Structure 1
Amino acid sequence: MEKETDFKGLFRLFTRSIFISMIGMIFPFLYILFPSMYVVESVKEGIIKVMATLIAVVFLIGAILGPMEAIIIFTIFGPFILIFHYMISTNRSVAATILATSLIFFTSIMVLFFAFGINSEVLNSRETINAITSFYTNIAKDAGLSQGDLTAFSQSAEIYYKGFLQIFPSILIILSVVTSYITYTTAGRTLLSKGKFIMQPSSLEFLKFPREIILLSLATLAIFALAGDYFGTSGEIFTLNLMNLLYFMLFVAGISVLKFFMTRFAFKSFLQFLLIGLCLAISTLQIFVMIIGALDQIINFRKIN
């Protein structure tokens, strides 16, 4: 017997999607909530009904905000939701699901870049650099900086922008993994509250990266350091991105350890979020957290295998 369609649930999905899409134009971080809603409904109602809802949302967004926004939303989240549903419905492992969905998310963003003609030459062009520095210099000018300070600020903005471009690949990888993890955990917890269970990642306090990944990253960095200038500029950029990924893994490991002990000693949720927020915002605390993450690889504070 065919399951009865939950039209109310699909309508809620539709309206929430429109709301997030509209508000997301001002606060882009809200888009992190977008895919988990569809993953939840795809498990409950099936992928065909959910994708039909997404297409309806995209058409309405195209009519309201323009076709560009509609194309971006569908290109990024359409394949992402599809692969998530496939991995969950076929009972793939948590690690395989995060790997596959992160790869799809990363690929979708790269496809958008190439489709809109955004490549390394465009990003590194003098025209783009001048546009970026002019934008931030105008903000600084409105803030009342003197001409001398504006010149120094413009030079600093260019240096930071070029540095950002060098580590941009690792930033995209981190964004993809974080989006996948948040979508997976949010969907899993939501389904569990509705009486449905799926395999899902561990909560943050029990999250642990395989030691082999950390060791392999360190070994690779050592090889590139010993090779010196053999790999040239591309080798330097690869090393920077690998270091950024290693710092990210150690930071997350450190945060997981702190979250574990804060939960163990019954810290209030607000206080936990406040402390984690401070660790994200203050560079000195970031280094401290990474040291904890590195020590956890050796000592295993939480006794997790």
Structure 2
Amino acid sequence: MEFKDQEKYMELGKLGLFGVVLGFLGYTFFGILYIFFPMLFMESSVKNGILSTMGVMLGVSVIIGLAFNMLAGLSLFFVFAPMVLAFHYMVTSKRGFMATLILMAVVLILSSVSLQMGLTPLGTVNLEEISEELIQSQIDGVGENLTGLEASRLEENLRLINEMSIKLIPGMFFIFILFTVYLNYVMAGRRLLRHGILINQPPIFSNLQLPRISILVFGIIIGVILLLQNSGMEIYEVIYLNSLLVFGLLFFVNGLALVSNLLGRLKMPNFIKTFIFLGLVFFIPAGAVVVILGLLDTLVVFRKIRIKRE
């Protein structure tokens, strides 16, 4: 019993050390590394227990806060701790991977938005002013070498791009959340497997398929958008654009998985697969076809179609 306790304390000590190192690298060099922060504690919550893991996570956040910025350090805990708790609950309850991913995504969205609203209330952020300053700085950077007409066209194009970018912020945020949750879930699962602990994992990419309810959700959102449009509410455009962005990407990934499955069943060489995937990703008309295939694949299970090879 004492040996197990010692081993557990050593594991928690290494967890704290890795967490501090990752926090240091994320704060000083590569902020993107923070998306891997919860993975360490998700793995530990299953191996070492949720209470001790949460204690180490809080301690790591405080150390990072004392070393750099207390608000930044504690923000890591308040944003990612609920996600770790959701992961631990779903895994120990032996729930399916899709339900686990959805709950983790919802929890991470709520914690991130709550923290952001607490730090910067919505009324204090003037997006139009920020956009105007950004446009002006971009024009000043290249405006000296342009004629009046060219500068006017540049300003018009920049204004359109910035306006569209602002409208798509919710969709891009949601996609980033999905990517973060999926990446941490898969990595935590792989690390647990190395220690002989098996949890429900997403299938390999070629067997990945969106549930049929996704097309129902998409249809409901389109119906809501049409109602808002008929009611004269301008917010329908923002919802429409973000829905197209999110579901377009989901159906695109689903379509790529379907293509990967079909190519695998045809036993295509890897270099041909790579060439086809590059074409599907970078050739826009082909990408549109993949989106349609991905959408149809939520209704018709193409993977069940048998392919006869002579």
TM-score by length of 2: 0.80
Aligned length: 300
Counterparts of 2:137 and 2:109, CA distance in 1: 28
Name which of 79, 82, 90 aligns with 2:82: 79
Name which of 8, 22, 25 aligns with 2:24: 22
Amino acid at match of 1:91: K
Measure how far apart 1:90 and its partner are. Answer: 2.1
Name which of 96, 102, 114 aligns with 2:105: 102
1:93-132 per-residue CA deviation (whole Å, 9 max, x = no partner) reads 3232122111110011111221122426624342x22333
Counterparts of 1:23 and 1:275, CA distance in 2: 37
Amino acid at match of 1:89: T
Amino acid at match of 2:104: T
1:136-191 per-residue CA deviation (whole Å, 9 max, x = no partner) reads 556x549x964756664454333223222223222222222222222222211221
More displaced stretch, 271-280 vs 83-92: 271-280
Name which of 100, 112, 116 aligns with 2:115: 112
- Structure 2: state its 5+ residue gaps: 306-310
Measure how far apart 1:33 and its partner are. Answer: 1.9
Measure how far apart 1:275 and its partner are. Answer: 7.0
Amino acid at match of 2:84: I
Counterparts of 2:89 and 2:18, CA distance in 1: 23
Amino acid at match of 2:68: L
Verify: 1:9 aligned to 2:14, yes or no: no
Distance 1:258 1:223, change over 3 A: same
Q: How does 1:166-181 map to 2 (within 5 A)?
A: 166-181=167-182
Is the Cα–Cα contact under 8 Å of residues 171 and 242 in structure 2 kept in the other structure? yes
Match of residue 250 from structure 1 = 251
Amino acid at match of 2:24: M
Distance 1:61 1:216, change over 3 A: closer
What is the root-mean-square deviation of aligned Cα atoms in Å? 3.3
Counterparts of 1:16 and 1:174, CA distance in 2: 27
Measure how far apart 1:32 and its partner are. Answer: 2.6
Q: How does 1:185-196 map to 2 (within 5 A)?
A: 185-196=186-197
Distance 1:23 1:238, change over 3 A: same
Verify: 1:61 aligned to 2:73, yes or no: no
Name the larger-Rg structure: 2
Distance 1:234 1:13, change over 3 A: same
Counterparts of 2:221 and 2:206, CA distance in 1: 28
Q: How does 1:277-296 map to 2 (within 5 A)?
A: 283-284=284-285, 286-296=287-297
Match of residue 308 from structure 2 = none
Is the Cα–Cα contact under 8 Å of residues 225 and 239 in structure 2 kept in the other structure? no
